[in-house]
A and B are shown apart, each in its own frame.
Chain A
Amino acid sequence: MTTEIQSNDTSPSAISKMFKSIGLLRESPIAIFGLSLILFWVILAILAPILPLYDPNAPLEPFKAPLADARDGGLYWLGTDHKGRDILSRVSFGAQQVLVWATTATAVAYIVGMLMGVVAGYLGGWWDEIISFISNVLLSFPVIVLYIIIITYLGATGFNIVLAVTFASAPGIMRIVRGLVLDLRTRDYIFAAQTRGESSLYIMLVELLPNARGPLIVDACLRLGYTTITIAMLGYLGLGLPPPQPTGAKMNAETQPLGSFAGHMAVVPAAAISSLVLGFNLLADGLREISMKD
């Protein structure tokens, strides 16, 4: 309740601040390039249902090359796959899936990781011991094995992908946040908050976490990239979102044996994924560059 009041006070300036930080991006061409790559995919994903695209799952004409004419007078911009489905349409709808689940999974991992980190860092003692121990155990698993275990036991649904990504990423996030908090907690404003009798929860959420955001924003961008790769990787292994949902990598996997004579079927989805991940990575790089300057 008290937290709400505080955020009400600051929200208008928080929005203007966001605009200001977007303005700062101008200083880094790399960040702008990254952001445009991401925005391209976001816009394509949002517009996919409106654009005049074929049904991504309808079998039309198999093995059409890019820019081939369709039977109904249309154009297969990126060709069709072995089952005759339009690749452009599948890539657009696939982007929708990947973006939604990558963002959700990263966000959930962040919430869990930040809470763990701030509790471990601020309360310390046994809290720290227990949380750090759990994180170390989770970090000692090879990530792929962790994914395979979770998905094969619980089934390949969007929710389970979020769960798997959270298990794999939260410990890393927790470590970053814990380190930042250990530094921030020695500041006088924390001491001041303690001397006016604030609860630990208030101090952690309102006084500490907002000040850790700088490095976390950069990390979040990188992590969005990793998560995209993860979802792609799970798709490639056949553990991704259930068919007939198209994801870039699944398309890649299905068409790999055919790569030798119908290359576009594998190249197009692969390029789609790489460009999105590249976008996230470049944005993270650019943000770091900007934050280093001042």
Chain B
Amino acid sequence: MEEQTPILECRNLCISYDTRGGEIPAVIDFNMKVMPGQGVGIVGESGCGKSTVALAIMQYLGSNGYIKSGEIFFHGRDMRTMSEEELRALRGSKIAMIYQEPMASLNPSMKIGDQLAEVPLFHEDVTINEAKARALELLEAVKLPDPKRIMESYPHQISGGQQQRVVIAMALLSKPDLLLLDEPTTALDVTVERGIVELVKEISAEFGTAMIYISHNLGLILDTCDRVTVMYSGEAVEDGTVNEVFDAMCHPYTSGLFASIPLPGADKNERPLVPIPGQLPLPHQRPQGCFFGPRCAFFKAGTCDQEKVRMRSVPEEEGHTVRCARFEDIDWSEGDHEAVTVKSVKSGKVVLDVRNMKKYYEIRSSSILAMIRGDAVKTVKANENINFNAREAETVAIVGESGCGKSTFAKVLMGLEEATDGQVVLNGEDLAHVSVQNRKARTVGHLQMVFQNPFDTLNPSHSVGSQIARVIRKFGVEKDPNKVREKVNELLDLVKLPRDFAHRRPRQLSGGQKQRIGIASAYAGGPAVVVADEPVSALDVSVQAAVTGLLTEIQNDLRSTLLFISHDLSVVRYLSDRVVVMYLGHIVEQGTTDEVFSPPYHPYTEALLSAVPIADTSVEQKQIILKGDIPSAVNPPPGCPFQTRCPRKIGSICETEEPPVKEFEPGHQIACHLDEDVFSSMEPVIVTHEEEKIA
């Protein structure tokens, strides 16, 4: 093979930030090569420096960041020697970047067509009409429905998935050689994410664009990239082709990452996830020698804590490099990888029973036109006929994407909203129409919640201990100050945090620690049911495993019921006993986890399953890409709620009649018009290559 010049090459790149506390090295000794048409992934947890690399490539580090040493070559030219003028000509034309928040990258006061036309107008010598024509062409290329209408729309008038497609179109307008994608789908729903990922793959194949794909999601990297660099604490720790890194990883951190994500085959009781102990060191607390040393199961004093560890090649695998002092000597079976297996617990009597629960909202339109027409009041059917129950010590997952009504359901359950109709029975007491203020302290304590965003659930003004103490007193568990303090300590023990954390302020805790405090508060009142709303989705992968493990363990000990609200099917499969799939306020399928994850499926479940990114090269997924976005609940489609996007739609019956609920096994229900024989001929979506079918 002839030697090509790489599009981009980083050589021994060191990037630092100047702060109050002095210089902080954010990226150390980073090497990367991107060949034309290649997709390179950068994986790592938050704070590992992956976005800093991207910003450095754009030469856009802000006022206090600078490249300390090393070079960045773009087409063989050192970017550090380019003038501001040259860089500006480069950005947006030869190198384009796509950020996480699509809304933040679009100007809200400009029509999309005008924004898109700006790119060629600025970088090339074209007329406005040519620019607009190009824009329209690319909107078609990114598969937006009705591109002419979108040209004339403002960003807020289209959905998040469509916005991200517009951003991609904008990035592609000047036919860049290099596309930087910084977590481009993190803010989107899974089924929408799948569409964007497919689009990115197609585009790089079609336009020959090289890509740097930054993500914390290993599954997405597997889908999109040829090579991958794993970063830890500002350093690249492993670099190689996707197959090398995913199948024959050599660095303990990489292997730890894989052990902490729920792959098919993991089971919370027999094969639980293994969290990486400890947490990412802050830049000024990095240890001597290997930065991963203190958290590494294969740490050897004398070898790993001496001089700086260099990147070394793996023998017989050209291009696969690892920053580990003793990777040849590691015996992977010796590392403490057998986490405590927990016996699965038999579920008991029904604790929570939801019967025909409905929640409608009324939206009043104040426009005069609406009043004249007489349709000033619109009804939003947030929850329609919710029927399910949850048993003692059972984990029931409620799965659905944004707008499916799961948050509304949680609000009704917690008593912040009153149900429009139906019953919510907790331990024999109907709570559907009792607001939280009118519930007994005991009842409130029996039904608690763990929130999604740990950074937002603790009041920054009060110490952690006083916040837990408040919960204890509020639920009437203890009144005496000494006993309350004791109980706070017990709860901290329960979530495995040191007792002196009681005196800390929330900002002194890491995300995972905050979420543990959130769990401690939820369990303060000895709850019968805990509602966990995406409790780990805001956390880093290695921490997620620890928090899910903790949840399982506490639940097994206390025999409480866990209602686990999530859109992440891999976590759901790992954690839950039964699954309820919701779409636009309707339950479309429910059953045990095995039943839901194997055929027959509801078409929506099928699509969801095919959309989960799985970081396992031996797994093959069926590709089902849903068209469009989730319809608004204000204006739901008639008939079956899923008919607008359903790949298995059979005809007008789907548009007119609400689908009947069919029972396949006792407890396994699917609401769909499809015929029995279609259901029975469905094939599993997720297949592993080792002959056995897991799904």
Known A189-B457, A192-B451, A211-B459; judge A197-B465 contact (CB<8 A).
no
A126-145 interface with B by 8 A CB criterion = none
B463 near A10 with CB under 8 A, answer yes
Binds A, one of B104-112, B190-198, B434-442: B434-442
Closest to A5 in B: B473
Return chain A residues, CB-CB under 8 Å to B521.
Answer: 192
Return chain A residues, CB-CB under 8 Å to B469.
Answer: 9
Q: Is A13 an interface residue (CB 8 A)?
A: yes
Q: Is B461 an interface residue (CB 8 A)?
A: yes
A187 near B462 with CB under 8 A, answer no
Q: Is A152 an interface residue (CB 8 A)?
A: no
Closest to B457 in A: A188
Return chain B residues, CB-CB under 8 Å to A187.
Answer: 456
Q: Is B622 an interface residue (CB 8 A)?
A: no
Q: Is B415 an interface residue (CB 8 A)?
A: yes
Q: Is B340 an interface residue (CB 8 A)?
A: no
Which residue of A187, A192, A210, A294 has the most chain B CB atoms within 10 A of its CB atom? A192
Q: Is B20 an interface residue (CB 8 A)?
A: yes
Known A197-B439, A293-B20; judge A191-B451 contact (CB<8 A).
yes
B436 near A210 with CB under 8 A, answer no
Q: Is A254 an interface residue (CB 8 A)?
A: no
**A197-B459 Cα distance, complex, nearest whole Å:** 16
B453 near A195 with CB under 8 A, answer no
Return chain A residues, CB-CB under 8 Å to B416.
Answer: 191, 194-195
Q: Nearest Cβ in chain A — how far from B30, in angstroms?
A: 27
B447-471 interface with A by 8 A CB criterion = 448-449, 451-453, 456-463, 465-466, 469-471
Closest to A210 in B: B461
Q: Is A196 an interface residue (CB 8 A)?
A: yes
Known A196-B474, A293-B20; judge A211-B460 contact (CB<8 A).
yes
Across the interface, A211 reaches (CB within 8 A) one of B457, B461, B470, namely: B461
Q: Is A6 an interface residue (CB 8 A)?
A: yes
**A293-B20 Cα distance, complex, nearest whole Å:** 9
A197 near B473 with CB under 8 A, answer no
Contact with A along B502-517 (1 / 0, CB 8 A): 0101000000000000
A13 near B463 with CB under 8 A, answer yes
Q: Is A61 an interface residue (CB 8 A)?
A: no
Q: Is A55 an interface residue (CB 8 A)?
A: no
Contact with B along A265-294 (1 / 0, CB 8 A): 000000000000000000000000000011
Which residue of A5, A6, A196, A213 has the most chain B CB atoms within 10 A of its CB atom? A196
A63-120 interface with B by 8 A CB criterion = none
Which residue of A6, A191, A194, A195 has the most chain B CB atoms within 10 A of its CB atom? A195
Closest to A199 in B: B437
B474 near A6 with CB under 8 A, answer no
A205-227 interface with B by 8 A CB criterion = 206-207, 210-211, 213
B456 near A189 with CB under 8 A, answer yes
B463 near A195 with CB under 8 A, answer no
B457 near A192 with CB under 8 A, answer yes
B462 near A210 with CB under 8 A, answer yes
Q: Nearest Cβ in chain A — how far from B560, in angstroms?
A: 16
B466 near A196 with CB under 8 A, answer no
Return chain B residues, CB-CB under 8 Å to A5.
Answer: 473
Q: Is B324 an interface residue (CB 8 A)?
A: no
B462 near A195 with CB under 8 A, answer no
Return chain A residues, CB-CB under 8 Å to B462.
Answer: 6, 9-10, 206, 210
B461 near A197 with CB under 8 A, answer no
Contact with A along B17-28 (1 / 0, CB 8 A): 000100000000
Return chain B residues, CB-CB under 8 Å to A211.
Answer: 459-461
Across the interface, B475 reaches (CB within 8 A) one of A196, A213, A293, namely: A196
**A197-B431 Cα distance, complex, nearest whole Å:** 14
A197 near B457 with CB under 8 A, answer no
**A13-B466 Cα distance, complex, nearest whole Å:** 11
Closest to B438 in A: A197
**A145-B300 Cα distance, complex, nearest whole Å:** 79
**A192-B522 Cα distance, complex, nearest whole Å:** 10
Q: Nearest Cβ in chain B — how far from A34, in angstroms?
A: 21
Return chain A residues, CB-CB under 8 Å to B458.
Answer: 189
Closest to B437 in A: A197
Return chain A residues, CB-CB under 8 Å to B445.
Answer: 196
Return chain B residues, CB-CB under 8 Å to A27.
Answer: 20
Contact with A along B470-481 (1 / 0, CB 8 A): 110111000000
Q: Is B444 an interface residue (CB 8 A)?
A: yes
Q: Nearest Cβ in chain B — how far from A277, in angstroms?
A: 30
Return chain A residues, CB-CB under 8 Å to B439.
Answer: 197
**A197-B466 Cα distance, complex, nearest whole Å:** 17
Q: Nearest Cβ in chain A — how far from B490, in angstroms?
A: 17
Q: Nearest Cβ in chain A — how far from B510, in angstroms?
A: 17
**A33-B414 Cα distance, complex, nearest whole Å:** 52
B451 near A188 with CB under 8 A, answer yes
Return chain A residues, CB-CB under 8 Å to B452.
Answer: 188
Return chain A residues, CB-CB under 8 Å to B473.
Answer: 5
**A189-B469 Cα distance, complex, nearest whole Å:** 15
Q: Nearest Cβ in chain B — how far from A31, in angstroms?
A: 15
Closest to B450 in A: A192
Return chain B residues, CB-CB under 8 Å to A199.
Answer: 437
A6 near B470 with CB under 8 A, answer yes
Closest to A207 in B: B459
Which residue of B439, B445, B466 has the most chain A CB atoms within 10 A of its CB atom? B466
Across the interface, A197 reaches (CB within 8 A) one of B441, B456, B503, namely: B441
Q: List 19 A-B contacts (CB under 8 A).
A: A6-B470, A9-B462, A9-B466, A10-B461, A10-B463, A27-B20, A188-B456, A195-B449, A196-B445, A197-B415, A197-B437, A197-B474, A198-B474, A199-B437, A210-B459, A210-B462, A211-B460, A211-B461, A213-B461
**Can you name 20 extra interface pairs (CB under 8 A) apart from A5-B473, A13-B463, A191-B416?**
A6-B466, A13-B503, A189-B456, A192-B451, A194-B436, A195-B414, A195-B436, A196-B474, A197-B436, A197-B437, A197-B439, A197-B474, A198-B474, A199-B437, A206-B462, A210-B461, A211-B459, A213-B461, A293-B20, A294-B20
A-B interface, 8 closest residue pairs, ranked by CB to CB distance from nearest: A210-B461, A9-B466, A188-B456, A188-B457, A189-B459, A195-B414, A188-B451, A197-B436
By a beta-carbon cutoff of 8 Å, the part of chain B in contact with chain A is 20, 414-416, 436-437, 439, 441, 444-445, 448-449, 451-453, 456-463, 465-466, 469-471, 473-475, 503, 505, 521
